[in-house]
Chains A and B, each alone.
Chain A
């Protein structure tokens, strides 16, 4: 086959414009598939930090949008195996404007517990103390602080959207760690603000409880114990590992996997059709040459090899360009350090899948034309015009 490679290459150069366009369309398809794989990897295939395994999350059994009473916290803390817990409320809100680069997660938390629960974050002791002492203090991840240009002592206002309350906060601590793309402020401050704006009914409600375990092995037992504790109460709970909780959060948007798979299938099918049409056209144009090759002594399998080789080479070139574009785009999006794109990258197995898909499409689109070419009778091929 090695000897025939130069023939394959020369045939690709026969109609450069068509080859370039085919490679380009293949590259775009591979890029789209690569982007989908990156989204999948971002959502489902990221290894959670080691510390994450030590945490459970308790939420309302019905939905994440349903709140839990504040007093649940003290009862959860009594469960055997629970080392610590912290109530957390997703605040949302707007900082400066709605642009994605100004977005970051903001949680109202118990400042005395939060860094014990999220022990992968490191914060200077004096900054932690300042954050804990100041009721309007805020602790923010270093990555976010640098992106939005916040420094220690700076005052900011978050405009509430879920809550009709606009917290006025002072940056007291900047913490570092994996995925440090969030900010914390005092639960009590939110509680007081809500009491003033909407009354006491909603003030002491908690979105989720983050729980730190004494041991990873305790996770199933502790989760069951917590949920059993509130099973017959008006606000039943659902306790799960942090990783499962995050996955559940994603799945609230719908069956993402099916959605991704559907788009991927449509792209592959389109790519297959485009590629098959191009190969068929190219082979039809060369019917007479195929007759000549067979007259010279080329066997069926050699003719098949030439056609398949051509399609696979185009697919591989498209795959290489497509993967390069995907890596460039995901890297650029990571550099933007937008919250949603952290970890948005094409993993090595994704690169392999892109190339595998390109080869499968190359082979799939050229098998029928290659078979037809190899089986064409020489006399018919030599008579072919056009």
Chain B
């Protein structure tokens, strides 16, 4: 029986920049239960995105153990990690990162190309994902024909189309106006409450905290107490 969707144990992450050793994460230990909407806040450069990268398996810690849905991802090689990620993780970027030459539909279909689904099933699932984020009428639109908020909703549809257990969102409202940011946060909240997705969101947007059930604060690579007034 797996209780924790994400379990980090004594995670250290260091990297070298020029002649300096930068400590991005210092002794981080967290457990995020399955079905949680977890918000990790902190100022720029605090190590939030680094932590998300580690949970997604797109970077490796210097020390420590990461278990996601019971899997010790430190034991997986790069190819195994790619397959594991495509099955278990949906990733939402701050800058949307849609492929500009693909339509909304095709962008959402992209992760399904790694599955054995037929073209018909892929399109059906992509359409369903776009309906969930309220963009069923924008299937054939290219990213440049969408607003920032719509682009991020397409990116969320792409993250959930493979029905992953965990959605990782890296500053999902960072590039959006207030109205669009609320829409995106509401969708993430719905995915958590109605679809049971575990959501790990990193942000320095104080509004995001209202949508999350649990919030923690990261500063200079260490977990600290949540300040009373979170710096924007």
**Chain A residues within CB distance 8 Å of chain B:** 3-4, 6-7, 10-11, 13-14, 288-289, 292-300, 302, 377-379, 382
Contacts and interface: CB of A to CB of B under 8 A. Distances in A.
Given A3-B113, A10-B102, A379-B59, A297 B97 contact: no
Contact of A289 (B85, B87, B99, B106): B99
Interface of B: 53, 56, 58-59, 78-79, 82-83, 85-87, 91, 93, 97, 99-102, 106, 110-111, 113-114, 158
A355 B27 CA distance: 58
A292 B113 contact: no
B97 A292 contact: yes
11 contacts: A14-B101, A292-B93, A295-B56, A295-B58, A296-B86, A296-B158, A297-B87, A298-B114, A377-B59, A379-B58, A382-B93
B174 to A, nearest CB: 14
A4 B53 CA distance: 26
A297 B86 contact: yes
A295 B101 contact: no
B228 to A, nearest CB: 33
Contacts of B82: 294, 297-300
* 6 A-B pairs closest in CB distance: A297-B86, A378-B58, A292-B97, A10-B101, A299-B82, A14-B101
Contacts of B87: 297
A295 B85 contact: yes
A14 B58 contact: no
B107 to A, nearest CB: 10
Contacts of B111: 296-297
Chain A interface main SS type: helix
Contacts of A382: 58, 93, 97
Contacts of B100: 14
A14 to B, nearest CB: 5
Contacts of A379: 53, 58-59
A307 to B, nearest CB: 15
A331 B147 CA distance: 55
A289 B101 CA distance: 11
Nearest to A375: B78
A299 B58 CA distance: 12
A299 B91 contact: no
A328 B59 CA distance: 55
Contact of B114 (A10, A297, A300): A297
Contacts of A295: 56, 58, 85, 91
B113 A7 contact: yes
B81 to A, nearest CB: 9
Contacts of B86: 296-297
B73 to A, nearest CB: 13
A4 B99 contact: no
A289 B83 CA distance: 18
A288 B91 CA distance: 15
A378 B59 contact: yes
Contacts of B91: 295-296
Contacts of A302: 114
Contacts of A292: 93, 97, 99
Contacts of B78: 300
Given A292-B93, A378-B58, 4 more contacts: A292-B97, A295-B85, A300-B78, A377-B59
A294 B87 CA distance: 13
B2 to A, nearest CB: 21
Given A295-B56, A296-B86, A288 B113 contact: no
A11 B102 CA distance: 9
B83 A299 contact: yes
Most chain A Cβ neighbours within 10 Å, of B53, B82, B86, B87: B82
Given A379-B53, A379-B58, A379-B59, A300 B79 contact: yes
A265 B214 CA distance: 66
A294 B89 CA distance: 12
Nearest to A289: B99
Contacts of B85: 295-297
Contacts of A4: 113
A4 B109 CA distance: 11
B58 A294 contact: yes
A303 B23 CA distance: 31
A322 to B, nearest CB: 26
Contacts of A377: 59
Contacts of B58: 294-295, 378-379, 382
